[in-house]
C-alpha cells in the first residue's frame, strides 16, 4: 500500500485528489492539510467531500507517508517541496514551481525569485505519456499546467516532424475552476455567466514559456507561439484549438498518416477519426485527452480536450504516482 498526503486539500485540485485517492485500491490517504481550515472537516468546506479532518501543514506526519501531493499556489509550493524531500518523501507538485528549468525564466514570469532553485535540475516534467521513462522512481515531479497538457499532447508529433511553417496559434477555452477557488472579480458569477472572455492573449500568459520550453525539446528550430486563452461560463473543461501552417511537402494525407499511430496503446489518449473535433463532452470527469485533426487550406487544425482538474491536474498527478511506484498506470483512474 502506498501512503499519501495532500497539502492544500481545500482547493479544487486538492479536493479532486482526495476523491481519487479514496477510490484508489493501492493508496491510503494518511493526511490532508489546510492552513485556513485546520481542525475542520473537509465536508464543511465541500459538502460532497468524504469525511476527513484537515490538519495544519506544520503538523503533517511526513515520516508516515511515501508521497506528498502539493496543491498550493506557486512559490508556496517550492518551499514546501524542499521540506518534504528533506524528510525522504517523494513530491508531486501541481503548481508551476518546477516546470520551468531556468530559474531566471521563472523569476521573469512569476515575479518572485525561485524559492528552491537547487531542485530544478532534478524535477521531472510529468507529461506522463511523453516522459514515462523519466518518471519511474522520480523523487520530484512537476505536474504540467492544464493548458500545456492539452496543447503539448496534441502538438508533440507535429513538432517532432517539424512540419510547421511560421508561428503556431493556440486558441484555448477553460472552465472557471482553472483559476482556482479563491474568488476574484474576473471569476465572479456575474462577470462569467453568459460571457466569454479572452484574457492574457498573445504572448503574456504564464503557460506560454512552459509550452515554448517543450517546443525547444522537440524541435531543432522551435516555432513562435501565439497563445490566446479564454474563460468560458462552465465550471470545468479545457479545449485547445491549434492552428499550424504546413511546410511545403506536407499534405492532408501525410498529416493523417503521422497522427494515425502516434498514441496507439495509450489508455487516456484518443485520436479521433479524420475531420472529427474534440469537445468537452468527450473528456469531462475523466482523465482522458481527446484529439481531433482537420486539415484545410494547408493548415492543420488540432482540437485537444481535457478536464482541467483531472488530466490537467489531479488525474495526471495520480497517473504520475502510479508510474513512479510502478503500479498499473490506469489504477484508480478508469
Ligand atoms: N485549477 C486547475 O485547473 C489547475 C490545473 C493545473 C494546475 N493547477 C495548479 O495547482 C495548484 C492548486 O490549484 P487549485 O486550483 O487547487 O487552487 P485553489 O483552489 O486556489 O487552492 C489552493 C490551496 O492552497 C492553499 N493555500 C492558498 N494560499 C496558500 C499559501 N500562501 N500558503 C499555503 N497554502 C495556501 C489553500 O487553502 P488553505 O488556506 O485552506 O490551506 C488551498 O487549499 C496551483 O498552483 C494551480 O496553479 C491548477
Ligand 1-lining residues (CB < 6 angstroms): 8, 10-14, 34-37, 71-74, 76, 94-95, 145-146, 177-178, 180-182, 308-309, 312-313
Atom from ligand 1 closest to the CA of residue 10:
43
* Cα 74 to ligand 1 centroid, rounded to whole Å: 8
Question: What number of other Cβ atoms are within 10 A of residue 18's Cβ?
Answer: 23
Atom from ligand 1 closest to the CA of residue 45:
40
* Cα 8 to ligand 1 centroid, rounded to whole Å: 6
C-alpha 300/C-alpha 281 separation (Å) is 22
Residue of 52, 93, 206 lying closest to 83 (CA atoms) = 93
Q: Hey, which of 41, 72, 309 would you mutate to test ligand 1's pocket, going by the most ligand atoms within 8 Å of its Cβ?
A: 72
Please state, in angstroms and as integers, the Cα–Cα distance from residue 87 to each residue in 80, 153, 271, 319, following that order. Answer: 11, 34, 42, 23
Inter-residue contact 311 to 285 (CB < 8 Å): no
* Cα 73 to ligand 1 centroid, rounded to whole Å: 5
Express each pLDDT in 267-317 by its tens digit: 999 999 998 999 999 999 999 999 999 999 999 999 999 999 999 999 999
What are the φ/ψ torsions at residue 215 (nearest 5 degrees)? -55, -40
List of E strands, 11-78: 27-33, 67-70
Q: Which of 20, 146, 155, 317 is catalytic?
A: 146
> Rounded to two decimals, what is the model's pTM?
0.97
Residue of 273, 268, 295 lying closest to 283 (CA atoms) = 268
Phi-psi label, residue 111: left if phi above 0, alpha if psi -120 to 50, beta otherwise: left
Atom from ligand 1 closest to the CA of residue 74:
45
Express each pLDDT in 48-104 by its tens digit: 999 999 999 999 999 999 999 999 999 999 999 999 999 999 999 999 999 999 999
Residue closest by Cα to atom 2 of ligand 1: 178
In the predicted model, is pLDDT for residue 118 greater than 90?
yes
Express each pLDDT in 15-32 by its tens digit: 999 999 999 999 999 999
Query: 71 catalytic, yes or no?
Result: no
Inter-residue contact 142 to 125 (CB < 8 Å): yes
Atom from ligand 1 closest to the CA of residue 97:
45
* Cα 71 to ligand 1 centroid, rounded to whole Å: 5
Q: Hey, which of 95, 180, 317 would you mutate to test ligand 1's pocket, going by the most ligand atoms within 8 Å of its Cβ?
A: 180
In the predicted model, is pLDDT for residue 138 greater than 90?
yes
Q: What pLDDT score was predicted for residue 44?
A: 96
Express each pLDDT in 161-203 by its tens digit: 999 999 999 999 999 999 999 999 999 999 999 999 999 999 9
Express each pLDDT in 243-264 by its tens digit: 999 999 999 999 999 998 899 8
Kindly compute the dihedral angle of the four CA atoms of residues 49, 237, 76, 207, in this order, to the nearest 10 degrees.
170
Q: Hey, which of 6, 11, 143, 285 would you mutate to test ligand 1's pocket, going by the most ligand atoms within 8 Å of its Cβ?
A: 11
Mean pLDDT of 110-131: 98
Amino acid at each position: 500500500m502506498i501512503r499519501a498526503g495532500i497539502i492544500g486539500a481545500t482547493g479544487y485540485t486538492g479536493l479532486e485528489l482526495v476523491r481519487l485517492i479514496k477510490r484508489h485500491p493501492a493508496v491510503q490517504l494518511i493526511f490532508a492539510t489546510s492552513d485556513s481550515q485546520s481542525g475542520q472537516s473537509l465536508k464543511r468546506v465541500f459538502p460532497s467531500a468524504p469525511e476527513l479532518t484537515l490538519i495544519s501543514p506544520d503538523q503533517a506526519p511526513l515520516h508516515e507517508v511515501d508521497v506528498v501531493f502539493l496543491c498550493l499556489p506557486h512559490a508556496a509550493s517550492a518551499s514546501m517541496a524542499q521540506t518534504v524531500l528533506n524528510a525522504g518523501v517523494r513530491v508531486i507538485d501541481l503548481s508551476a514551481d518546477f516546470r520551468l528549468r531556468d530559474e531566471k525564466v521563472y523569476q521573469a514570469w512569476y515575479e518572485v525569485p525561485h524559492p528552491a532553485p537547487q531542485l530544478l535540475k532534478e524535477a521531472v516534467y510529468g507529461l506522463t505519456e511523453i516522459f514515462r521513462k523519466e518518471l519511474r522512481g522520480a523523487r520530484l515531479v512537476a505536474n504540467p499546467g492544464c493548458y500545456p497538457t492539452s496543447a503539448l499532447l496534441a502538438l508533440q508529433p507535429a513538432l517532432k516532424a517539424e512540419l510547421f511553417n511560421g508561428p503556431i496559434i493556440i486558441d484555448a477555452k477553460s472552465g472557471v475552476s482553472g483559476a482556482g477557488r479563491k474568488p476574484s472579480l474576473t471569476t465572479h458569477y456575474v462577470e462569467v455567466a453568459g460571457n466569454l472572455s479572452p484574457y492574457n492573449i498573445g504572448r503574456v500568459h504564464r503557460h506560454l514559456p512552459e509550452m515554448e520550453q517543450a517546443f525547444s525539446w522537440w524541435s531543432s528550430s522551435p516555432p513562435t507561439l501565439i497563445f490566446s486563452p479564454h474563460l468560458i461560463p462552465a465550471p470545468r473543461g479545457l479545449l485547445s484549438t491549434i492552428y499550424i501552417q504546413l511546410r511545403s511537402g506536407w499534405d492532408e494525407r501525410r498529416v493523417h498518416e503521422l497522427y494515425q499511430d502516434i498514441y496507439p496503446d495509450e489508455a487516456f489518449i484518443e485520436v479521433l477519426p479524420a475531420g472529427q473535433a474534440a469537445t468537452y463532452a468527450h473528456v469531462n470527469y475523466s482523465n482522458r485527452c481527446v484529439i481531433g485533426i482537420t486539415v484545410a487550406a494547408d493548415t492543420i487544425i488540432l482540437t485537444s480536450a481535457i478536464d482541467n482538474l483531472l488530466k490537467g491536474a489531479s488525474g495526471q498527478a495520480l497517473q504520475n504516482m502510479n508510474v513512479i511506484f510502478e503500479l498499473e498506470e490506469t489504477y484508480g483512474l478508469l
